[in-house]
Amino acid sequence: MQVDRSGSVTTPKGFLAAGLAAGIKASGNRDLALVVNEGPLLDAAAVFTSNRIFAAPVEWSRGACADGVLKAVVLNSGGANACTGQEGLADSAKTAVQVATGLDCPVRDVAVASTGLIGVRLPMDKLLPGVDKAVAELSPQGGPDAAQAIMTTDTVRKMASWTSPDGWSIGGIAKGAGMLAPALATMLVVLTTDADIKPLALDRALRQATGVSFDRVDSDGCQSTNDTVVLMSSGASGQAPDPEEFTTALAAVCRDLGLQLLADAEGSAHDIAVTVKGAASLEDALDVGRSIARNNLFKCAIFGNDPNWGRVLAAAGTTRAAFEPERLDVWFNGVEVYRQGAIGEDRSLVDLSARQVDVVVNLNHGEHEATVWTNDLTYDYVKENAEYSS
């Protein structure tokens, strides 16, 4: 399924967007984005961080998205508005009111998302005039500017779209350096479609698609206070695809955006796909995959181009997944370095010089399989996260 990285939230019919510099970021870069659904449908679904400490915009948007209807999403970089108490929640509400006034829509049909430093109030004197400007600048070509405006430590903007031969399409923009649950470098995603999908099917499609994409991208195992993924449907294509077909396409767009996040993850030098085969259940496969993907010693070894399969096994051994240690196999980039619980081919045969690394573990205990994507742990990861307050 070929995803187009030049398309974005304004590729599907019925959407307008804008992205501009409101003065929230000291750098003067774009920091405010607005994505608006012109209908005819205003259906929406959303998923948020599972962190119990969540930001004010998450609290606001959970409420706004609860009825499955959204007119617009407003997003800012330059400040997470997290751990800012009742004042912070009021700031998110004021932002939504400003958008609703500009678009003449109910205030609860406006979702809000924020990313940046935790524990600092947003400069509302800059943000609110910025909202008015964004409303005035809305355009059917505004997607790329919106993608630019939500960047923080991202070095490139992330966009993707897919268009069906039947004439309907899905588009998205994303920012961040981690997984839906994890990554304090908040992941924000806005997805749009002009397909006519029933609200319940839209919600189910979003949960299924994020479950096999963003949920399996684990940059650093850290969970954000602000992660937000919003999907809006305009129905403007007049097409009503089969929900299964729609979910497959949505998952492809989400997976592509997830891999773009990973490729731009803070300070990373390798993209690592950890595939666990032969698991007794999908949960076991994910459990082992995540344990390996979050192991700092394994991640440092990959940075050092060292096919250290001992660290892979040690990480697998901390899980409760069903397997017998003496039946495990491990491959690094196609070389079977560990076979049936004993030393396999010589580790010197493994070449880890390329950015992409494939680690495969066969538990030899069932038929289930899952892949978790992560990065290596590098000097630059430490540098960015020691020097940048997020």
Q: Tell me the catalytic residues.
A: 186
Which among 112, 226, 124 is positioned nearest to 175, based on CA atoms?
226
Nearer to a second copy, 166 or 379 (CB): 379
Expressed in angstroms, the distance from the first to the final Cα of the chain is 35
Phi, psi of 328 (to 5 degrees): -75, 145
Per-residue 3-state assignment (H helix, E strand, C coil) for the chain: CCCECCCCCCCCCCEEEEEECCCCCCCCCCCEEEEEECCCCCEEEEEECCCCCCCHHHHHHHHHHCCCECCEEEEECCECCCCCHHHHHHHHHHHHHHHHHHHCCCHHHEEEEEECCCCCCCCHHHHHHHHHHHHHHCECCCHHHHHHHCCCCCCCCEEEEEECCCCCEEEEEEECCCCCCECCCCCEEEEEECCCCCHHHHHHHHHHHHHCCHHHECCCCCECCCCEEEEEECCCCCCCCCHHHHHHHHHHHHHHHHHHHHHCCCCCCCEEEEEEEEECCHHHHHHHHHHHHCCHHHHHHHHCCCCCHHHHHHHHCCCCCCCCHHHCEEEECCEEEEECCEECCCHHHCCCCCCEEEEEEECCCCCEEEEEEEECCCHHHHHHHHHCCC
Nearer to a second copy, 162 or 331 (CB): 331
Nearer to a second copy, 2 or 353 (CB): 353
Instruction: Say if CB 258 and CB 84 are below 8 A apart.
Output: no
Output the smallest distance, CB 377 to a second copy, in A: 6
Applying CB under 8 A, which residues contact a second copy? 50-54, 80, 82-86, 117-119, 184, 220-225, 295-297, 300-301, 303-304, 306, 308-311, 313-319, 325-326, 338, 341-343, 347, 377-379, 381-383, 385-387, 389-390
Instruction: Say if CB 46 and CB 150 are below 8 A apart.
Output: no
Output the smallest distance, CB 361 to a second copy, in A: 11
Output the smallest distance, CB 177 to a second copy, in A: 10
> What residues pair up with 34 in beta bridges, in sequence order?
18, 74
Nearer to a second copy, 5 or 383 (CB): 383
Output the smallest distance, CB 96 to a second copy, in A: 22
Output the smallest distance, CB 92 to a second copy, in A: 15
Whole-number Å distance between alpha carbons of 388 and 156:
17
Output the smallest distance, CB 272 to a second copy, in A: 14
Output the smallest distance, CB 269 to a second copy, in A: 10
